[in-house]
Chain A
């Protein structure tokens, strides 16, 4: 959790956190038979899922050069991203 993350990984963490929260809300409303469940499913649940997916898709099309190679340590990516073009 403490390792330095690239901007893409930070966005991925945010996206997966939002999706996870949306999925938890959805799971809670599945067996709840009440109109409130429908509202909760739509309002925080579906909204969290949607925003999470949107953040993920945006992260895919932005900052393409800052992904890390599998064997590369986090620090080298940080220093590379700070180099002047």
Chain B
């Protein structure tokens, strides 16, 4: 039995009891009726509401949830760009992030109350989408913080010992302290680039790779290498 079934059951029981009380409020005169009223109008609705909120919050992490708004659709498509130098595409296609929570995994804040702040930003997105004016080109509320990358990459061998990350003395420390952005020009600069999406070749999951294509299993090339 999954959580949705349990929640549906809880809502059904709560609704039946609340309906009973609505049509026969006089049953609350007895002690048993009072207990029933307390359960029907307080305990069960609180449980059902909390369960529903929790489920809605979990669902709001889905990639499909984010990309269901028109303005975000092209960002969802950019996850399938067939070019390993594109950072989100390489992460998405190589399962470095969970595909069904791709947007959330990279755009949440891995800090105290980060999850809560992400939800608040999400509510702001919803407000703009349905009640405000959607900007032509959405921009981040604040510059992307390396902390979100380091949540997974910190301590990883290919990050700590990577030749480019250690090319100069102190570069690794600069990256770790967010003084040098991972998305700096010449590093992992190719992100969503939705403006150039029209001419891009897209990857189709499950499609047979062409014989002459390089494997995308290797680490994505940086902008520096590409140039």
Contacts and interface: CB of A to CB of B under 8 A. Distances in A.
Name, among B28, B40, B68, the residue most crowded by chain A CB atoms within 10 Å (CB to CB). Answer: B28
Interface of B: 4, 7-8, 11-12, 14-15, 18-19, 21-23, 25-26, 28-30, 37, 40-42, 45-46, 48-49, 52-53, 55-56, 59-60, 62, 64-65, 68-69, 126, 129-130
Contacts of A38: 56, 59-60, 126
**Interface on chain A toward B: helix, strand, loop, or mixed SS?**
helix
B99 to A, nearest CB: 16
A36 B28 CA distance: 37
Contact of B29 (A24, A30, A39, A68): A68
A26 to B, nearest CB: 5
B28 A12 contact: yes
Contacts of B62: 33
A41 B12 CA distance: 16
B126 A53 contact: no
Interface of A: 1, 3, 5, 8-10, 12-13, 15-17, 19-20, 22-24, 26-27, 29-31, 33-39, 41-42, 45-46, 49-50, 52-53, 56-57, 67-70, 72, 74
A13 B130 contact: no
20 contacts: A3-B26, A10-B25, A15-B41, A16-B37, A17-B18, A19-B14, A19-B41, A22-B45, A27-B12, A29-B56, A31-B4, A34-B68, A36-B130, A38-B59, A45-B52, A56-B37, A68-B29, A70-B29, A70-B30, A74-B26
Contact of B22 (A17, A29, A46): A17
Contacts of B65: 33-35
A47 B176 CA distance: 44
A30 B8 contact: yes
Contacts of A31: 4
Nearest to B131: A39
Given A9-B25, A31-B4, A16 B18 contact: yes
B29 A29 contact: no
Name, among B4, B41, B56, the residue most crowded by chain A CB atoms within 10 Å (CB to CB). Answer: B41
Nearest to A50: B49
Contacts of B30: 70
